Structure 1
Amino acid sequence: MRQLGGTELKRLHRSWRRKDSFRLALLLEDVQSPFNVGSIMRTAAALSVSELYVVGRTAAPNSPKAQKTALGTGRYLTWSTHEDIAAAVGVVRADGYLVVGLELADEAEPLASLNLRRDVCIVLGNEDRGLSSTCLNLCDAVGYVPQTGRVGSLNVAAAAAVACYEVRRQGWADAPAE
């Protein structure tokens, strides 16, 4: 076994990109750490996120610390800033996305049990407080990442990576075999 070279990697990624049949977006509500925002941007670029919506006190994606963590991947993303969560969710819906919050909430369902085989916008919240109650009430669905270890929650950037992958995994499961 050997690692793939540049051309081989491009072919591999192109084959998976052809299987993407739905758009994926992220909405960040009050994600204050620029390092988390940068990490989320890198994941977003790797998994073909169409749009990044930034709300409230979220660190700016073009801040030097976010850019440093994103390692230049910000150039592959389109992002917009919104003053409040209600306005942002309105824009997300107008753009044709199902709004899915990611939160450990009483009525949330395991992310893998939600039907994410459509245009989806995953909503991620503040590092300490999660999503606001206003945001939770605006979501079409709320999911969570089941955890079996002794730690009860994930870092917001890690949760974003898991959620983005789950959306893509569900879409790829329906794609015809090559």
Structure 2
Amino acid sequence: MRQLGGTELKRLHRSWRRKDSFRLSLLLEDVQSPFNVGSIMRTAAALSVSELYVVGRTPAPNSPKVQKTALGTGRYLSFSTHEDVKTAVQAARADGYLVVGLELADEAQPLAALDLRRDVCLIIGNEDRGLSATALSLCDAAGYVPQTGRVGSLNVAVATAVACYEVRRQAWGAGVPVLDSGDADEA
């Protein structure tokens, strides 16, 4: 086994990009740390997020502190700024998205249990408080990342990465070949 080179990496990523059949967007409600926003942007660029809806005290994606962590990935993303979460959710719905809150809430389901094989906008909330009551009331569904360890929550950027991957994983699921140990040499 060896690491892939530049051209091989481009081919690999291009083959997965062709399997993206649904759009994915993120709505950031009061995510306060510019470093979390920058990290979320890197994940968003890596997983072909179509749009960032920025609300409240979330730092602008083009601010210098955000860009320090985003490492130039902002050029691959579109974003719009909204005064309140209601306006942002209306914009996401007008753009054709199912709105799914990422939150540890009483009616939330594990992300893997939700059918995310469609255009999805994930709402991501504040690092300490999560989603506002208004945001939760506007969601079509709510999901969470199940955790089995002694810590009950994840960093917002990490949780967002896991959630984005789950949306993509569900869309890719039907077309992903499974290799058994005998096929490894052929791959």
Aligned pairs for 1:42-121 (under 5 A) are 42-121=42-121
Q: What letter corresponds to residue 20 of structure 1 in structure 2?
A: D
Distance 1:59 1:125 in 2: 13
Runs of 4+ deviating beyond 6 Å = none
The residue number in structure 1 matching 2:183 is none
> SS of 2:50's equivalent?
strand
The residue number in structure 2 matching 1:166 is 166
Distance 2:71 2:174 in 1: 32
Distance 1:78 1:15 in 2: 23
Distance 2:115 2:142 in 1: 11
1:64-117 deviation line (CA, Å, top 9, x unaligned): 111010010000000000000000000000000000000000110000000000
Task: Give the number of the structure whose alpha-carbon radius of gyration is greater.
Answer: 2
1:104-160 deviation line (CA, Å, top 9, x unaligned): 001100000000000000000000000000000000000000000111000000000
Q: What letter corresponds to residue 155 of structure 2 in structure 1?
A: N
RMSD of Structure 2 on Structure 1 (CA): 0.8
Q: What letter corresponds to residue 16 of structure 1 in structure 2?
A: W
Give the count of matched residue pairs. 177
Task: Indicate whether 1:16 and 2:16 are aligned.
Answer: yes
> SS of 1:67's equivalent?
helix
Deviation at 1:63, TM superposition (A): 1.1
Distance 2:154 2:176 in 1: 33
Distance 1:21 1:62 in 2: 28
> SS of 2:143's equivalent?
strand
> SS of 1:129's equivalent?
coil
TM-score, normalising length: structure 2: 0.93
> SS of 2:175's equivalent?
coil
The residue number in structure 2 matching 1:123 is 123
Deviation at 1:174, TM superposition (A): 2.5
Distance 2:174 2:98 in 1: 19
Q: What letter corresponds to residue 41 of structure 1 in structure 2?
A: M
Distance 1:10 1:149 in 2: 36
Deviation at 1:176, TM superposition (A): 7.0
1:15-67 deviation line (CA, Å, top 9, x unaligned): 00000000000000000000000000000000000000000110111111110
Task: Indicate whether 1:7 and 2:7 are aligned.
Answer: yes
The residue number in structure 2 matching 1:27 is 27
Mind listing any 5+ residue stretches in structure 1 that lack a counterpart? none
TM-score, normalising length: structure 1: 0.98
Mind listing any 5+ residue stretches in structure 2 that lack a counterpart? 178-187
